[in-house]
Structure 1
């Protein structure tokens, strides 16, 4: 588990940012976001990145020009992306479809793909240079909804980086848009899957009524507060879980959990090790918020082509003492139950809660937020140069507080083995304890920590 390499330094020359508008006139109208889109916890920008090799069959074709033209054509169909967010009564977000366009940056870097190493994983060195934060562009209201930078490399490969206002789309939604750009770049005249707005399908009911328990939106209660670790000196690692590591963890599951998903297994493992590493007191409440894609929960199904947010922050909750004194299966069972709680009625209840409680942020104190992009298909987007060699988050986490959120990302290690990469950020000393705990879990050994107030169980 080597630290993520960040020593690579290179220079990027950027052209002046420009606005790419739809290639044809589009309607000027106002489109409301859904009440799943419209929650405080989604009012941020999320960065994504893709790395592409040179393809001799594309010799003489400029990826910057190809993608810029494809974006303009795609925005004719996805014209809300070319608009701007406004805020109305009750903090309700609405897209004004102005046709102004998205920000596009053309760039060149004096680096090759090979210099990034055998195993591409976030956080990427100098990633801010590969996705330049144009001053004044990063707000939620009255700002472009997408910022895209295409960077040519010395090896004739290129990097496509995108920043998305998360209120407008989730991972499947933005991948749908990127797939459409790829199709247009390869010569299509229209996307094979046409976009569907219809955000009214996930609006609150009239009258709104909360029917499920939503501990993810608990108000701050004094006796549940867990102090946030010092973040001045953070360590970053990307932990690779290949077939061997996953099989080892699964081997110690009780019979009724043998078929748990890899997401459930790894989420429980990271949550437990992280809680121990942070020296969380046994009585303190800890939670993991699992981001659960709910697209398959609706009957009738949501329309194909719907590209809004369709997920829940489902919570598993316990005390640090119970989490760490019990075998790993205890945590897996909590995570599995949290995921299984997400139904169509659960999503309706979240929409209603947003209206009743004023669009609250999810509960962040003592929480660890986990999202898997293993099925999001970022790596399958083809702009004409084939599939990317890495596609997914540009950083290992999102949000304002380092170490609180994380992704599970499909990837390969230096041996070429397929697996799941889990970027982790923790204070330096906590990272040392985390690595020690994880190593011992994988070896079925018990660790004694003098500062812990509980006995850490083995697998």
Structure 2
């Protein structure tokens, strides 16, 4: 498979934007210091869509039309046109200088079905479809996009946005804005609520007074060794999903039910000792959990982690509903007190010179499951239809999983899971209850 770059350019905001240094919160600084690589696959539409009024450029995924819409989208989302910088005391910040986002046009010598029929995130997939920079450290670019035209039609949009700028909700808010502008919507209609950029709402208290210990942010729990792994996409059909949820109490979410099942399957596949400990890292969106709540359009990292630690024998021998409830309890305990404690804990650790855990080198006993359920990941229509498939281009560690919806909500959900190859066969048999 070969991909040739035919154009590389910087796209600056179409209007003047604030020139300032954007302070980053402790939650921004606790994420992996890298660009998050995603791919959106668009097959050729059966019926060509009409050009929207005022659109620039013609034809399927015309680059000029996308670049013009991107320039307009970078006006409200101006941090994405800046560069990662260093402020007072060596603290990372975003230098909002309007230099622009990277935009690449490429052509591939293969068809989309060859890759997306049995899609696997991998370093090779990222290399083909997402622009790459050697380091996520200052003064790196904040946002990169690549449109790759496939053999026989079809397009892959690859996006690489630096994780310190935003979480999943912020990323999909930006994509919705960009695609809406490309369809000819006005700025207010495409963007909806303007992104909220004031991250000082998540500033630590003075003095910082954490109410709890937060070992999930400790480097001590990332003591795993680099291990070869592969990533597979597992479909959770409605029948299997209904079966899993039938073993759980009312009110237990799809995420908790699927994650409980995934946790069990991981323990079995890896042959973990029944008396040993296993840990699950779970994320929680805090926008609605703070008092007062953050604006829904808060553009930054508004996710905190919690940790569920238990014996392997409890994960395997207890009912699935018990495991799912333990996950639900961990998510539910993330309230205003807990969030402020996390922010203060990270402040104390930084004052001691300690770094927050940002990597994903977990030991074989552990699992990290991220939820994209309920996010508008498929609301990405540039004017030629919605994507057939959206997923990470690459996973960054064994034992890491995403739970996402499918393009067709009636098809259930999908689990992307990175696991050592020697455990795959056993995992798949247990996962599908064979």
TM-score, normalized by length of structure 2? 0.87
Cα separation, 2, equivalents of 1:90 and 1:279: 47
- 2:296 pairs with 1:300: no
Partner of 1:201: 201
Residues 14 and 410 of structure 1: CA distance in aligned 2, closer, same or farther (over 3 Å): same
Partner of 2:8: 17
State the Cα distance separating 1:63 from its structure 2 match: 2.8
State the Cα distance separating 1:264 from its structure 2 match: 0.4
Partner of 2:176: 179
Cα separation, 2, equivalents of 1:428 and 1:134: 26
Q: Deviations over 1:318-357 (max 9, x none)?
A: 1223322333233212211111111122111111111101
Partner of 1:215: 215
Residues 226 and 269 of structure 1: CA distance in aligned 2, closer, same or farther (over 3 Å): farther
Cα separation, 1, equivalents of 2:311 and 2:304: 22
RMSD: 2.6
Partner of 1:380: 379
Query: Which 10-residue stretch deviates more, 197-206 or 182-191?
Result: 182-191
Partner of 1:285: 277
Partner of 2:430: 437
Q: Deviations over 1:70-97 (max 9, x none)?
A: 1112112221111111234555221111
Cα separation, 2, equivalents of 1:435 and 1:86: 44
- 2:401 pairs with 1:406: yes
Partner of 2:302: 310
Secondary structure of 1:150's match? strand
Cα separation, 2, equivalents of 1:32 and 1:435: 44
| Gap regions ≥5 residues in structure 1 | 1-9, 444-459
Query: Which 10-residue stretch deviates more, 345-354 or 273-282?
Result: 273-282
State the Cα distance separating 1:389 from its structure 2 match: 1.4
Count how many residue pairs are aligned between Structure 1 and Structure 2. 415
Query: Which 10-residue stretch deviates more, 315-324 or 94-103?
Result: 315-324
Q: Which runs of 4+ in 1 moved over 6 A?
A: none
Residues 127 and 177 of structure 1: CA distance in aligned 2, closer, same or farther (over 3 Å): same
Q: Deviations over 1:370-425 (max 9, x none)?
A: 11112121111221112221223223x3x3xx312110121269xx9511111222
Secondary structure of 1:302's match? coil
Query: Which 10-residue stretch deviates more, 382-391 or 107-116?
Result: 107-116
Cα separation, 2, equivalents of 1:244 and 1:98: 51
Residues 226 and 43 of structure 1: CA distance in aligned 2, closer, same or farther (over 3 Å): closer
Partner of 1:274: 266
Q: Deviations over 1:63-120 (max 9, x none)?
A: 32211111112112221111111234555221111211111111122333344455x7
Cα separation, 2, equivalents of 1:227 and 1:167: 24
Alignment counterpart, residue 34 of structure 1, candidates 25, 30, 45? 25
Aligned counterparts, 1:81-160, within 5 A: 81-89=80-88, 91-116=90-115, 121-123=119-121, 126-136=124-134, 138-160=135-157
Cα separation, 1, equivalents of 2:139 and 2:177: 25
| Gap regions ≥5 residues in structure 2 | 52-57
State the Cα distance separating 1:187 from its structure 2 match: 2.4
Q: Deviations over 1:129-178 (max 9, x none)?
A: 44244454x42321001110011233443221101111110011011111
Query: Which 10-residue stretch deviates more, 187-196 or 328-337?
Result: 187-196
Secondary structure of 1:18's match? strand
Cα pair 1:14 1:105 within 8 Å, conserved: yes
Cα separation, 2, equivalents of 1:194 and 1:217: 31
Cα pair 2:282 2:331 within 8 Å, conserved: yes
Residues 282 and 107 of structure 1: CA distance in aligned 2, closer, same or farther (over 3 Å): same
Aligned counterparts, 1:388-427, within 5 A: 388-395=387-394, 397=395, 399=396, 402-411=397-406, 418-427=411-420
TM-score, normalized by length of structure 1? 0.83
Cα pair 1:226 1:285 within 8 Å, conserved: no
Partner of 1:68: 67
Q: Deviations over 1:294-340 (max 9, x none)?
A: 22213333224321111111111112233223332332122111111
Cα pair 1:130 1:149 within 8 Å, conserved: no
Cα separation, 2, equivalents of 1:155 and 1:227: 44
Cα separation, 2, equivalents of 1:258 and 1:124: 37
- 2:166 pairs with 1:169: yes
Partner of 2:54: none
Partner of 2:356: 360
Cα separation, 1, equivalents of 2:153 and 2:216: 46
State the Cα distance separating 1:241 from its structure 2 match: 0.9
Residues 104 and 184 of structure 1: CA distance in aligned 2, closer, same or farther (over 3 Å): same
Cα separation, 2, equivalents of 1:437 and 1:340: 29
Partner of 1:243: 238
